[in-house]
Amino acid sequence: MNREQLIAAYSASGRHYHNLAHIEDCLAALARVENLSPREREILIAAIWWHDVVYDAMRADNEELSAQLAEQHVHPDISGEVARLIRLTKSHEVQAGDRLGATLISIDLSILGAEPARYDAFAAAIRQEFIHVPEADYRAGRASVLARFAARPVIFPDADFAARYDRPARDNLARELASLR
């Protein structure tokens, strides 16, 4: 799978949020992360590009399939670590001391701390990706996901992301949860 095929995957119909703009946002967030070695940055760039390459809202194995594709296509020196990081995006949880995992998960979740209008556009795009789900079921499922994030003592495992995004993320989550009830 070459760069053009990656771009095509992220440009597929039905991708309203998990698309090329999401990858660009993640890469921009990574560009603001300091104190990474060139190898760490290379690993994170690859993980960002591959983490949602497979995305079908009706599947539960998108992360695993994306990780497997990364293992096949990313340089063998880093493919194992890239795949490990991609698998973390299923739960968005990392072990203490996992700096790269904390960085990737915080980047992937940074949309939660966006300004309200941008967050609302994200929430609407997610709804479009799950348009096949009846409204009542979507509201219940989405509320459950958001409540789990809101209940976490730490939403962003990277301290710099937590300092920047935790309060606005909690405000956005509370606002969307209220709208779903």
pLDDT at 82 over 90: yes
Please state the rounded mean pLDDT for residues 1-21.
93
Residue 2 clears pLDDT 90, i.e. is over it: no
Per residue in 97-153, pLDDT (tens digit) is 999 999 999 999 999 999 999 999 999 999 999 999 999 999 999 999 999 999 999
What is the number of domains present in the chain? 1
Residue burial 59-92, b: 16+ Cβ < 10 Å; e: rest: eeebbeebbbbbbebbeeebbebbbbbbbbbeeb
| Cα torsion through 87, 26, 168, 86, rounded to 10 | 0
Please give the model's pTM, rounded to 2 decimal places.
0.95
CB atoms within 10 A of CB 114: 17
Q: Would you state the structure tokens that stand for residue 118, as one six-digit string?
A: 């941008």
Q: Does residue 155 surpass a pLDDT of 90?
A: yes
DSSP 93-120: ---TT-HHHHHHHHHHHGGGGS-HHHHH
Q: Is 5:72 a contact under the CB 8 Å cutoff?
A: no
- Rounded Cα–Cα distance for residues 172 and 167 (Å): 9
Dist. CA 15–CA 104, nearest whole Å: 21
pLDDT tens figures, 23-71: 999 999 999 999 999 999 999 999 999 999 999 999 999 999 999 999 9
CATH code for the domain of 131 = 1.10.1300.10
Taking CA atoms, 92 is separated from 64, 70, 118, in Å, by 14, 18, 21
pLDDT at 104: 98
CB atoms near residue 42 (< 10 Å): 17
What's the farthest any 2 CA atoms get from each other in the chain? 48
Domain range for residue 43?
3-180
CA–CA distance, 23 with 90 (Å, rounded to integer): 16
Give SS3 for 17. coil
